[in-house]
Amino acid sequence: MFEQGRPLSTTEHALFQPYYQRHTLYKVRIIENKVPFWLRKDMCAVVLGHRIFFRKNAYQANTSKSLELLAHELTHVEQYLTGMNVFKYIWASRYGYRQNPYEVEAYAKGAYVSAQILAGRRANSV
Question: Is residue 118 a contact partner of residue 64, using CB atoms and an 8 Å limit?
Answer: yes
**Each residue of 2-28: pLDDT tens digit?**
568 999 999 999 999 999 999 999 999
Is pLDDT of 124 > 80?
no
Amino acid identity for residue 60 in this structure: Q
Is pLDDT of 50 > 70?
yes
Is pLDDT of 70 > 90?
yes
What is the rounded distance in angstroms from the CA atom of residue 48 to the CA atom of residue 34? 13
Parse the chain into domains and list their residue ranges.
10-124
pTM over the 0.75 mark: yes
**Each residue of 88-107: pLDDT tens digit?**
999 999 999 999 999 999 99
CA 9, 104, 118, 21 torsion: positive or negative?
negative
Other CB atoms within 10 A of residue 51 CB: 20
What pLDDT is stored for residue 121 in this prediction? 73
Helix (H, G, I), strand (E, B) or coil at 31: strand
